[in-house]
A and B are shown apart, each in its own frame.
Chain A
C-alpha cells in the first residue's frame, strides 16, 4: 500500500492546455513537495507546502501553480502547458525539519506536444 500516490501516471497534453497533476499521501506528513526530474538537472523543486492551505515557491516555480486543499492532497497545476514542461514529476511528503526523510510517489510522466 503505497503511501504517496500520484495521478495521472502518464499524460500527453497540447501546448496551451491546462494540466493538473495530483498527489495523495497517507503518511500524515505536514510537508509536501513537487519536483521535476530531467536528465542533466536531477530533481528540482517546483513548489512545496507546510500544510493545508499553504503553498511556497521552490527553485523553479515559473509556469506552475500549486494547491494544498487538505493534509493529504497536493496538486501541481500547469495553466498553459509548454513543451519545455515535458518531464517526469515527483511528489514527495516529509515531516519537516532539516533531517527529515522524503517519501516519493511513483512519478507522473508528462509530454507536452
Chain B
C-alpha cells in the first residue's frame, strides 16, 4: 500500500534560519498527489500546499515544495523561519488509482522555532 516517510520527528530552529522538512513516499500509482498539512496547537489541521506536477515548485504562505517523482520526494522549505511557524507538519499522499480522496499521512514533524 501507500506510505509516507517523514524522517524527522522534531526540528528545532532559530528564528531567521531556513526550514527544510523531509518527505518521501511510496505508491504503485504514477499519478500521486502530495500534500503538506499544518496543525497549529488548539486548531484543526489544514492544508498548506499540494501538488501533482513533477518538478514544479508550489508555494503558499512563504513555504514551498517541489514534487520530484524520480526520487519520490516532496520536501517542505521556507527561506526564513518565524516564531509563528512552530507547529506540527504532516506530509500526505493521495492517488488517482483508488480515487477515494483518502489521504495517507506521515508520522508528522514538529517544528519548533525559538528566538
Interface residues of A (CB under 8 A from B): 2, 4, 31, 33, 35, 40-45, 48, 50, 56, 58-59, 90, 94-107
Count the B residues whose beta carbon is within 8 Å of the partner chain — how many?
Answer: 30
Residues of B within 8 A of A50 (CB): 100
The residue of chain B having its C-beta at the shortest distance from the C-beta of A97 within the complex is B101
Interface of B is mostly: loop
Contact of A97 among B32, B45, B99 (CB under 8 A): B99
Residues of B within 8 A of A105 (CB): 44
Residues of A within 8 A of B37 (CB): 102
Residues of B within 8 A of A33 (CB): 102
Query: Judging by beta carbons under 8 Å apart, are B31 and A98 in contact?
Result: yes
| Bound complex: CA A31 to CA B50 (Å) | 19
